[in-house]
A and B are shown apart, each in its own frame.
Chain A
Amino acid sequence: RKEVEQDPGPFNVPEGATVAFNCTYSNSASQSFFWYRQDCRKEPKLLMSVYSSGNEDGRFTAQLNRASQYISLLIRDSKLSDSATYLCVVDSWGKLQFGAGTQVVVTP
């Protein structure tokens, strides 16, 4: 079993709609959690950190559920430019584990 798992998608989303997806992790001692965005074969870039209380950055909302060991990302009012692969990253005592990514395709 992978330590960090994501639904690969693709999630096909009409422009303006809301999309949400999760990432599960297996190490209960994991401390920090992040969402990165990756455009096709380019370097990943930090989208947002995920805090215990949940956090929002514009149209993006991240949640952490430690009891069930998953994090989530919700994108509201999707834009065409949101089309990308979203990588979940879990930090366990300095060791970073990446999920394989969830592909989001926003259509006009």
Chain B
Amino acid sequence: EAQVTQNPRYLITVTGKKLTVTCSQNMNHEYMSWYRQDPGLGLRQIYYSMNVEVTDKGDVPEGYKVSRKEKRNFPLILESPSPNQTSLYFCASSFFGGGVEMTNEKLFFGSGTQLSVL
């Protein structure tokens, strides 16, 4: 089954304790991305990757790190979490058109990770 697998589903941690949220897709998608969703603000992009070893900042990258060593995996790392990073996080992937148009096709989302930083 084609899917984006994101873990964990729920995570409670304390300020400053490093954590990693994993994301894996089995569709051979080039494009992967992380979003956070907060009430009234919608989905905001944290980082995205257009292919292996190619990552770029989104709109709210501060306090986060990512890596794309393999096509299928795109982990999100919080080196020193703070309470303002309490949020609902989504990973997503899609085929990426590339070329002149550089457009994304349908985004497939993981089930989300609700993170609480105390």
Could you tell me which A residues sit within 8 Å of B by CB distance? Answer: 8, 31-32, 34, 36, 41-46, 49, 87, 89, 91, 93-101
Contacts and interface: CB of A to CB of B under 8 A. Distances in A.
Interface of B: 31, 33, 35, 40-45, 48, 50, 88, 90, 96-97, 101-104, 106-107, 109-112, 114
A100 B43 CA distance: 7
Given A94-B50, A98-B42, A42 B103 contact: no
B109 A45 contact: yes
- Please name the 7 residue pairs, one residue from A and one from B, whose CB atoms are nearest each other, closest first: A100-B42, A43-B109, A98-B43, A94-B102, A32-B103, A93-B102, A46-B106
A99 B104 contact: no
Contacts of A94: 31, 50, 96-97, 102-104
Contacts of A87: 42-43
Given A8-B40, A44-B43, A87-B42, A98 B35 contact: yes
A91 B35 contact: no
Interface of A, helix, strand, loop or mixed by DSSP? strand
Given A41-B88, A44-B43, A32 B112 contact: no
A75 B4 CA distance: 29
Given A93-B102, A94-B31, A43 B44 contact: no
Nearest to B40: A100
A49 B111 CA distance: 21
A99 B42 contact: yes
Given A42-B111, A49-B106, A87-B43, 16 more contacts: A31-B102, A31-B103, A34-B106, A41-B88, A41-B114, A44-B43, A44-B90, A91-B104, A94-B97, A96-B33, A96-B45, A96-B48, A96-B104, A98-B35, A98-B43, A100-B41
28 contacts: A31-B101, A31-B102, A31-B103, A34-B106, A34-B107, A36-B107, A41-B88, A41-B112, A42-B112, A43-B90, A43-B109, A43-B110, A44-B107, A44-B109, A45-B109, A89-B107, A94-B97, A94-B102, A94-B103, A94-B104, A95-B48, A96-B45, A96-B48, A96-B104, A98-B35, A98-B42, A98-B43, A100-B41
